[in-house]
Structure formats: structure tokens, C-alpha cells
Amino acid sequence: MPIQRKFDLPASPDALSFSSPKPVFLLFIASKDPATGESWCPDVRASLPHIEAAFAADDAPTVSFVEVGQKPEWRERDNVFRTKWDVNNVPTLARFERVGDKVTEKGRMTEDGIMDPATLKAFMAY
């Protein structure tokens, strides 16, 4: 399935759009450094190849990348990703599912889980 590299994040998880009964996966990552063209976060740079390989399979679900900003923005306590989405580490891979009319977060993992192929595959299973 596709990797959606740019994703317009809604105001809250309840506003996530589900086009099928499959889970929605969001990967919160550090934005690209304008000087290098790569993420400013070394953990994100190390994790991306694992995400790209796992989600590139034909039977894989879709993952949407959400950039959290440059380092100064990310470090602000009132950063929307921290306050509305409870993201405190990058990268963070979050799984959301619709149960009835409610959106529920079913789990999340950071770089340690992302970089373990078996753990990542189990997390992606639906």
C-alpha cells in the first residue's frame, strides 16, 4: 500500500477520516532540515528505512507521515502534536481504528519497536 508522505492532520483523532475498516497509521516525524534535506532527528533518519520497507509491501496498510516541525518548534511545550496528539517522541508510529462511531488509538511505538522487524510487523497486522 502507499506511503503518504504529506498528510494534513485534523484537529484531533476523532476527526480522522476512514475510507475503509482498516486501521489508520500515522508516523510522526521530525521535519526536514532545510540545509541538509534530511530529518533533523537522528532517530527518525535511522527508523525511516524500516518504515518504508514494512509499508511498501502490496498487502501493507497505508501510513501517513506527519511532520512535527523544526527542533525549536518541536521543543515547545504547547506544540500541537504534544498537546492534542500526545506525541512526546519522534518518530512515533500510532495506530487508530474506528469502533462504531468512535476513533480509538490502538497503540503506538517509537524507534525501538519500529527498528525491530518482528515487532513492527505484528503492530501493523489487522
| Catalytic machinery residues | 41
What is the end-to-end Cα distance of the chain in Å, rounded?
14
Q: 4 burial class (0-12, 13-18, 19+ CB within 10 angstroms)?
A: middle
- Specify the residue for cell string 504534544: 82
